[in-house]
Amino acid sequence: MNLIEEMTTRGHERVCVHHDPDSGLRAIIAVHSTALGNALGGTRRWHYDSYDAALLDVLRLSRGMTYKAACAGLDMGGAKSVILLDSPRQTPTEAQARAMGRFVDSFNGDYIAAEDVGVNEQFVDWMAMETDHVMGGTGEGQGGDPSPHTALGVFRGMQACLRHVGESQFAGLTVAIQGVGSVGAHLARMLHEHGAELVVADIHQNSVDEMVGKYGARAVGTDEIIGAECDILAPCALGAVIGPDNIDSIRARMICGAANNQLVDHDRDAAALRKRGVLYGPDFIVNAGGLIHLAGLYLGLTPPQLEAKIDDIESTTLRIFELTDQHESTAHAAVALAEERIATERSREETHAG
Ligand code: NAD
């Protein structure tokens, strides 16, 4: 991959690669944009097939964070980091986490790290031993696990979907959740409390059994969940789960879930969903609750202000649906909304500077 070319095309400001020989840490931090402020984005620990695959992942994810923060109304830019594991189940160590903390610290606050796949509160706490620029740990004001806040945001996104199609009640509806891990399980609880029927799938049988036992969910196979008979499909496991191979099998009327980069190809697949009459709540809009919680705390917002901002996901999602008449898809409208906010902020700064 030609990094400079990729950065230029995607609009990245800074991409740094780091190797710590003592701990064996190999990591990349990508800052996509600081136009709206310093940038908070999770640290992902993952075993990639190649260095290029890791680079592509961090470039895609960091740009997504810029759009997510902009649409969430946060004065935050977009960034993300990845740690390249030597094997899929490599055990996290304090030495590697602290080396990552020092790498994060070298950005002097332009980049603020947090949890992502493979990074839990313990790992964040270790990073926090080396830098103040990390959120999501157990320390005072660190915000802890963002998953419940992400789930609440997805729930608000679903409420927007319902309002857009002229409905308001979850009672009598069926929601299919792919992946009942941290976010999916919180979402399942909320939906059950609001009277929805649940269909669930997960590669971990224990997680499925818990949902069946607690909420009377119907379990289906991991290869059946995307095409399950339901009103709303909530992808809450991995990215790239909806594409040309399965779009025609989708029976849901709406898609709204937590996973990042749910569509194999953002533009193409969002347009295909629209053509099929499936309402797609753009992932980076509806899954912003965790970011709002952690970034909001970092920026000094009070708990009521944080809650109000997460609730705003409903009105932002609705606004995007309304704007979609002028765009190819809801995903396209969401990106346009983010770019508009960034451009407005840039021109305001230029006016002040002038
Ligand atoms: P998690 O790892 O706790 O849960 C993911 C679940 O998906 C696990 O239970 C896993 O077993 C299951 N899974 C994996 N592959 C699957 C498959 N093929 N079919 C069915 N289930 C499968 O992760 P999480 O924190 O709940 O996050 C879920 C998704 O939401 C991720 O894509 C993450 O990037 C995204 N997200 C999370 C947050 C957050 O606050 N945690 C915020 C924004 C976005």
Whether 182 is in a domain gets the answer yes
- Residue of 43, 116, 124, 183 with the most ligand 1 atoms within 8 Å of its CB, for mutation: 183
Report the percent of the chain where pLDDT is more than 70: 100
Residues 280-297 have pLDDT tens digits of: 999 999 999 999 999 999
Domain shared by 158 and 53, yes or no: no
Residues 236-281 have pLDDT tens digits of: 998 899 999 999 999 999 999 999 999 999 999 999 999 999 999 9
Domain shared by 181 and 327, yes or no: yes
pTM for the model stands at 0.94
Whether 297 is in a domain gets the answer no
Looking at residues 108-131, what average pLDDT do you find? 96
Whether 117 is in a domain gets the answer yes
- Residue of 202, 209, 224 with the most ligand 1 atoms within 8 Å of its CB, for mutation: 202
Does position 89 have pLDDT exceeding 80, yes or no? yes
Looking at residues 183-191, what average pLDDT do you find? 98
Number of independent structural domains in the chain: 2
Domain shared by 184 and 332, yes or no: yes
Does position 354 have pLDDT exceeding 70, yes or no? no
Distance CA 281, CA 283 (A): 6
Domain shared by 279 and 212, yes or no: yes
Whether 308 is in a domain gets the answer no
When the pLDDT of each residue in the chain is averaged and rounded to a whole number, the result is 96
Domain shared by 265 and 170, yes or no: yes
Domain shared by 192 and 220, yes or no: yes
**Catalytic (active-site) positions:** 80
Residue 168: give its domain's CATH number.
Answer: 3.40.50.720
What does the pLDDT read at residue 31? Answer: 98
Domain shared by 21 and 162, yes or no: no
Q: How many CA atoms lie within 13 A of 338 on its CB side?
A: 26
Whether 133 is in a domain gets the answer no
Whether 295 is in a domain gets the answer no
b/e burial code for range 39-72 (CB count within 10 A of at least 16 → b)? bbbbbbbbebeeeeebbebbbbbbbbbbbbbbbb
Whether 349 is in a domain gets the answer no
- Which atom of ligand 1 has the smallest separation from the CA of 204? 11
Ligand 1 centroid to Cα of residue 326, in Å, is: 32
Whether 279 is in a domain gets the answer yes
Domain of 226 in residue numbering reads as: 147-288+318-336
Residue 91: give its domain's CATH number.
Answer: 3.40.50.10860
- Which atom of ligand 1 has the smallest separation from the CA of 291? 42
Does position 80 have pLDDT exceeding 90, yes or no? yes
